[in-house]
Homo-oligomer: A and B are copies of this chain.
Amino acid sequence: MNQFSEKSSNEPFILVYHERAAEFCMQELQKLGVTHIACASTREEVMAVLDRVEILFCWRFPMDLFAKAPALRWVQLMGAGVDDVMMSNQLPEHVTLTRIVGQFGTAIAEYVFAEMLYLVKNLAKFQEQQQISLWKPMKLSVLTGKILAVAGLGSIGAEIIRLGRAFGMHTIGLSRTGAHQHLVDQHFFPEQWGEFVQQADVIVITLPYTESTRAVVDKMIFEQMKSTVMIVNIGRGAVINEADLIAFLQTHPESAAILDVFEMEPLSSENPLWRLPNAVVTPHISGPSSTAEVSDFFFANLKRYLTDVELYGIVDRSAQY
């Protein structure tokens, strides 16, 4: 009855791959009228249909199989970050790669402000006091008037800046192209990392992991931060040199870090970050895991694909994101 079910076998064949949620995503898409579709949760299930797949909608796909899909033309990832695919170098050049854009900003910005306010308002202390029924007022710090520095001005960074402004913060930003420098009070380019961090009260990393962002925040950059800085990483762990971060936190007890991403995930239970009193560690939960929402994004993109409209979220292979 709709543009999908009307089509016959000319309709491109879609494979949904996800270790846990593939079937759910497929059903969501079937409800919307998509018929030429299969799902897989294992390598074996992929192999069974691989020669027919034109479109792949996937999360943590076994990447050596990209080159073994002769009809593959488009891969839609279920996340915002594409570093694993880019670094693997296994996706043939002629295949279009898209990522989710414009959808994670709201949830991630809420996470960022939840954790920032948690530290700024000293909520852990009040929770401890409640546990022993202790009434002991303390003066609270405020966000208003503080300087919020956001590295990366994509849709996630933009949303964090918007909320920062609502909280009365001054905003500065760093980005590779400067294309969205109008979003912030002051803009810096990657060669200005030192100046960028010097004045910041809070630094939020929303950068993708690419060859040019690998460990870009290292000892030299930490040394230029305020001793009271709060560092938030919701981009990719590898953008920060983790050993340098740990050393900085250990030697600057008034600084703090809010970390949702790490060089290696899951974070090893041996990693000292878990136990640093000035580090908040969460298990990569800042982005929404709603497969329904990513299915909606894919469905909108699929309509564009079928009508030859440029896809949302096309990855620039040279920029690696």
Contact = CB atoms under 8 A, between A and B. Distances in A.
Interface stretch (A62-70, A111-119, A311-319): A111-119
Size bracket of the A interface: 35 or more
A126 B168 contact: no
A228 interface: no
A127 interface: yes
A143 B110 contact: yes
22 contacts: A106-B168, A107-B140, A107-B142, A110-B140, A110-B142, A110-B144, A114-B117, A117-B117, A123-B123, A130-B280, A133-B269, A133-B274, A133-B275, A135-B269, A135-B283, A136-B283, A137-B285, A138-B285, A140-B288, A142-B288, A163-B166, A166-B166
Contacts of A267: 135
Contacts of A167: 110, 163
Identical copies in the complex: 2
A309 interface: no
A284 B137 CA distance: 7
The 9 A-B pairs of least Cβ separation, nearest first, read: A114-B117, A166-B166, A135-B266, A133-B269, A133-B274, A114-B121, A135-B283, A137-B283, A130-B281
A48 interface: no
Contact of A142 (B106, B136, B163, B166): B106
Contacts of A166: 162-163, 166
A282 interface: yes
Interface string A75-92: 000000000000000000
Given A133-B274, A283-B136, A283-B137, A124 B127 contact: yes
Interface of A: 106-107, 110-111, 113-115, 117-118, 120-121, 123-124, 126-127, 129-130, 133-140, 142-144, 162-163, 166-168, 265-267, 269, 271, 274-275, 280-286, 288-290
Nearest to A265: B135
A237 to B, nearest CB: 13
Contact of A282 (B124, B126, B163): B126
Nearest to A285: B137
Contacts of A274: 130, 133
A259 to B, nearest CB: 10
A290 B162 CA distance: 28
B124 A140 contact: no
A205 B140 CA distance: 20
Contacts of A115: 121, 123
Contacts of A275: 133
Contacts of A123: 114-115, 118, 123
A113 B111 contact: no
Contacts of A282: 126, 130
